[in-house]
Structure 1
Amino acid sequence: MTDLLDDFLIRATLAGIGVALAAAPLGCFIVWRRMAYFGDATAHAAILGVALALAFNLSIMLGTLVMALAMALAVSGLSGRGRAMDTMLGVLSHSALAAGLVAVSLLQGVRLDLSAYLFGDILAVGRSDLAVIWGGAALVIGLIWARWSALLTATLSEDLATAAGIDPRREQLILTLALAIVVAVAIKVVGVLLIAALLIIPAAAARNFARTPEAMALIAAGFGAVAALGGMAVAWNFDTPAGPSIVCVAAVIFAASTLSGLARRAS
């Protein structure tokens, strides 16, 4: 196993699969709640977290986790206060990204490859990064597994959840925490601009084949893992950027899933 992990391509592939497995079930809840922009806003805040981490000499992972969590909590707190949710998320998402890019440009004496954070640098994943990614993935999967029934009920109907003794706000906070963790561990794999795609596309593709919520989460995890493997194969054979290649393979899976669904409905 040690010899295998010395191969950068093996480490990169395992990192992609780890992120995909964590993102898939969480992405299902984002799709069910119609909160695609929620993932974007949280991911874009990570760039500001990178700038703050560098400014205060902190861990990049810690900086991105704190800012992603702060943005997710801000969005959760502002939701349901009379503003159009999609408009508010769009404003917060792009404002956070712009603020992060400006903050990075103001750092003195720091040389930073922004493209690695915007689009990912999966081929540079080391053993410690791999441990953090799989540890974060295990934490997210554990959170969702433990709260699956409550999360599902709160997603279906807040009134039904309240009647069943479930606090919808608490379940929202659990999703918020899980999303922040996924953003923090995924930034090195696909970058902030593509994290939302990895959350949403496999879940959306799985919807055409699933008969139950549990099946959709499992199928989404499978599609995410296939996208990670396929994207790495494309990147290796055609010398393309690995993160965007993973998302492109996921998009192909979604297109095939959509066509298959249309064919089944037409027959």
Structure 2
Amino acid sequence: MLDDFMTRATLAGVGVAFAAAPLGSFVVWRRMAYFGDATAHAAMLGVALSLALQISVFAGAMAVALVMALTVTILSGRGYAMDTLLGVLAHSALAFGLVAVSFLSGIRIDLMGYLFGDILAVSRGDLAVIWAGALIVIGLIGWRWSALLTATLNEELAYASGIDPKREQLILTLALAITVAVAIKVVGVLLIAAMLIVPAAAARPLSRTPEGMALTAAAIGAASTIIGLRAAYVLDTPAGPSIVCVAALIFALSSVIGSVAPSSDR
């Protein structure tokens, strides 16, 4: 069964969708879209370092993504405007990563694959890493779900409930780094943030509860993967961008449904 490249691609995409759904919901609730983008862009530098040091791309990308996320968290409270800080770090990390890749002699690099993903080339080993990472992310978010929701709703309420918001932020940061690392192979550095944000944003108008939004986002992400891969196969288009395009169309449809539905029903 796993000898079929389309089957492996579908399983990989669904794994990433399941990991990104609950995490993406918190990214939307906390308005951390740029945060996810900066972490994803930093992964390119991790790819370059992994190839230079001959270590796992997953490990290198996750380490650098985690360092980037922690750096943003630390610097955000020191007088820097968040959007400016994220813009500087995101584009600087991506630029340094691309320059570092150019210095790697004797190593054949599919740069477009790392930037936009190469889901059709996912191997059995990649599939194992993706699903292991997805299960870790789902486990982390599930374990801290109530605490994360409380910290997202109100920091003062979190402190009153004995919850440390900074600790919950670190858990989100770790989950984000893992998700970025496992998603590189599927949608690439430039589209990871889209898979985090778009399904969650599409699920928001269709959901009544936080749990419902996370589950709906997972369903939308999985459907986007399946439909996007089929469209890419039929139309001969890039698989990763096709998946994101389908998710964007679902977002547009859900926005229309949300706008025309009576406010009492939402």
Q: TM-score range by the shorter chain?
A: over 0.9
Paired position in structure 2 for 1:262 = 259
Paired position in structure 2 for 1:240 = 237
Paired position in structure 1 for 2:146 = 149
Deviations 1:194-223 (A, max 9, x none): 000000000001110111111111111110
Alpha-carbon distance in 1 for matches of 2:213, 2:75: 29
Alpha-carbon distance in 2 for matches of 1:20, 1:86: 26
Offset at 1:152? 0.6
Pick from 208, 213, 221 the counterpart of residue 211 of structure 1: 208
Alpha-carbon distance in 1 for matches of 2:3, 2:260: 45
Alpha-carbon distance in 2 for matches of 1:172, 1:77: 11
Matching residue's letter, 2:107: V
Paired position in structure 2 for 1:64 = 61
Paired position in structure 2 for 1:108 = 105
Q: Which runs of 5+ in 2 are unaligned?
A: none
Matching residue's letter, 1:215: G
Q: Percent identity?
A: 71
Deviations 1:59-113 (A, max 9, x none): 1111101101110111111122222111111111111101100110111222211
TM-score, normalised relative to structure 1: 0.97
Paired position in structure 1 for 2:76 = 79
Matching residue's letter, 1:41: A
SS in 1 for 2:205: coil
Mapping for residues 21-36 of structure 1, pairs under 5 Å: 21-36=18-33
Paired position in structure 2 for 1:47 = 44
Pick from 122, 127, 130 the counterpart of residue 124 of structure 2: 127
Paired position in structure 2 for 1:225 = 222
Alpha-carbon distance in 1 for matches of 2:189, 2:262: 36
SS in 2 for 1:137: helix
SS in 1 for 2:186: coil
* CA distance 1:264–1:146, change in 2 (3 Å): same
Alpha-carbon distance in 2 for matches of 1:25, 1:220: 7
Alpha-carbon distance in 2 for matches of 1:168, 1:266: 32
Offset at 1:188? 0.2
Deviations 1:27-81 (A, max 9, x none): 0000000010011100001110011111111111111011011101111111222
Alpha-carbon distance in 2 for matches of 1:157, 1:81: 21
Q: Which runs of 5+ in 1 are unaligned?
A: none
Offset at 1:266? 8.3
Deviations 1:137-173 (A, max 9, x none): 0000000000000001111111111111101110000
Which moved further from structure 2: 140-149 or 102-111?
Answer: 102-111
Alpha-carbon distance in 2 for matches of 1:198, 1:32: 15
Alpha-carbon distance in 1 for matches of 2:262, 2:51: 53
Paired position in structure 1 for 2:96 = 99
Deviations 1:212-256 (A, max 9, x none): 111111111110011011111111111111000000000000000
Alpha-carbon distance in 2 for matches of 1:154, 1:27: 16
Stretches (4+) displaced over 2 A: none
